[in-house]
Amino acid sequence: MDPNKLGYAHEIILKQYLPDIANLEIRHDDVFVISYPKSGTTWTLHIVCQIFKEDRNNTDKSIFEEIPYLEFPQGHDLAAIDTIPGQYELLDIMSSPRVIKSHLKPHNLPRDMKVKAPKVIYVARNPKDTAVSAYNFCKLLPGFPTLEEWPDFFEHFCKGTGPRGSWFEHVLTYWKQSRNDPNKLFLKFEDMKKDLKGAVSTISEFLERSLSEASLDLIVNNSTFSAMRSNPKTNPDLNPGELNKIPAQFFRKGKVGDWKNYFTVAQNESFDVLYTEKLRGSDLTFEFEPSHL
Ligand code: PPS
């Protein structure tokens, strides 16, 4: 793919879509699930879709077919990338409440969001595990600019010039916006891992949908790593559609702490210095160790 067509860094985003996305009409009852890639987006979307189950009539579709990915093309034919319509073009005909996935930074989101104030769920994951997950995903994507070796990927991740742009900039911008805004919920992957039931309750309260104890338990059971990995509607590797042309393993490990299998001692020390410097004064903290609860 021609890197000049990409929006920033090597982000998998097509510049040609950005003006249209900025001008999209938003509805007050839209729900956006936004993240830096590989932070638990699909997990969160699956929970949101189950909470809205009664409102939705597309439940036969996989989550990837049902939920528009705002800045992504309608298909994976990279040879036709100049002419492929964007998934944002599907939004108009969707019934409400629309659930929308995006990895865009705030300045690229539809301007109308400031007026309509839809609900936004932002999910963040500790940057070490995010980097490892992104590294494994990106190196398997055909046709996209890749950084095959972990040391290269690590360097770019630290500088914010890797395939997914700056983690620090993304997460900190949304963190600042989410605080004191009742229409924005900031979730952490590690908290979801530690207390999935608590996370589902938090999301349902935020969406103003009360759940019976039985529905809550059902959603929790359907949203574990093993349940989602074996479900063709949530795991693109099992989906016979367009998406299984991507040979990446989507449900790889789903753990907190896998970074230890990749970071050298020196990389870990230098990353800790960078992390401390970047997050200083933000009140934002992450857990890097698995919970033993
Ligand atoms: S994407 O492509 O940006 O939308 O990817 P995203 O969905 O944000 O993140 C994929 C990682 O989330 C893990 N995952 C889960 N972990 C634990 N429990 C559940 N239910 C779950 N669902 C998805 C997935 O395995 C990816 O992480 P890694 O570490 O690569 O396994």
For ligand 1, whether the C-beta of 50 sits within 6 Å is no
User: Residue 59 maps to which CATH number?
Assistant: 3.40.50.300
- Catalytic one among 10, 46, 103, 170? 103
List the beta bridge partners of residue 123: 35, 187
What is the average pLDDT across 242-263?
Answer: 81
Lowest mean pLDDT among 13-17, 143-147, 258-262, 273-277: 143-147
What span, in angstroms and rounded, lies between the C-alpha atoms of 166 and 10?
11
Q: What is the Å distance from ligand 1's center to 114 Cα? A: 29
Is residue 287 in some structural domain?
no
Question: pLDDT value at position 172?
Answer: 98
Q: Which atom of ligand 1 is nearest to the CA of 45?
A: 7
Interaxial angle between packed helices 127-138 and 265-279, expressed in degrees from 0 to 180 and rounded to the nearest 10: 120
Write the residue with the smallest CA distance to atom 23 of ligand 1.
43
What percent of the chain is predicted at pLDDT more than 90? 70
Is 103 annotated in the active site?
A: yes
Is residue 74 in some structural domain?
yes
| Confidence band for 58, pLDDT divided at 50, 70 and 90 | low
Q: What is the Å distance from ligand 1's center to 111 Cα? A: 29
What span, in angstroms and rounded, lies between the C-alpha atoms of 30 and 28?
6
pLDDT digits (tens, 9 = 90+) for 191-227: 999 999 999 999 999 999 999 999 999 999 999 999 9
Is residue 121 in some structural domain?
yes
What span, in angstroms and rounded, lies between the C-alpha atoms of 62 and 46?
10
Question: pLDDT value at position 82?
Answer: 74
Is residue 267 in some structural domain?
yes
Residue of 7 and 250 predicted with greater confidence = 250
What span, in angstroms and rounded, lies between the C-alpha atoms of 122 and 1?
29
| Structure-token pair, residue 85 | 């319509």
| Confidence band for 60, pLDDT divided at 50, 70 and 90 | confident
For ligand 1, whether the C-beta of 162 sits within 6 Å is no
Residue of 146 and 172 predicted with greater confidence = 172
Write the residue with the smallest CA distance to atom 15 of ligand 1.
254
Is residue 39 in some structural domain?
yes
Q: Within 179-238, where are the H helices?
A: 189-194, 196-206, 213-222, 225-229
Q: What is the Å distance from ligand 1's center to 10 Cα? A: 21
- 3-class SS of residue 153: helix
| Confidence band for 184, pLDDT divided at 50, 70 and 90 | very high
Name the DSSP class of 52.
T
Name the DSSP class of 12.
S
Write the residue with the smallest CA distance to atom 14 of ligand 1.
254
Instruction: With a cut of 70, say whether residue 116 has pLDDT above it.
Output: yes
pLDDT digits (tens, 9 = 90+) for 5-19: 433 334 556 788 999
Is residue 128 in some structural domain?
yes
| Structure-token pair, residue 228 | 């989602």
Whether the CB-CB separation of 87 and 20 falls below 8 Å is answered with no
Q: Which domain holds residue 119?
A: 17-279
Instruction: With a cut of 70, say whether residue 108 has pLDDT above it.
Output: yes
Question: pLDDT value at position 88?
Answer: 97
Kindly report the pTM of this predicted structure: 0.93
Is residue 6 in some structural domain?
no
Is residue 286 in some structural domain?
no
Q: Which atom of ligand 1 is nearest to the CA of 137?
A: 30
Domain count along the chain: 1
> What is the pLDDT of the chain when averaged over all its residues?
88
Question: pLDDT value at position 83?
Answer: 82
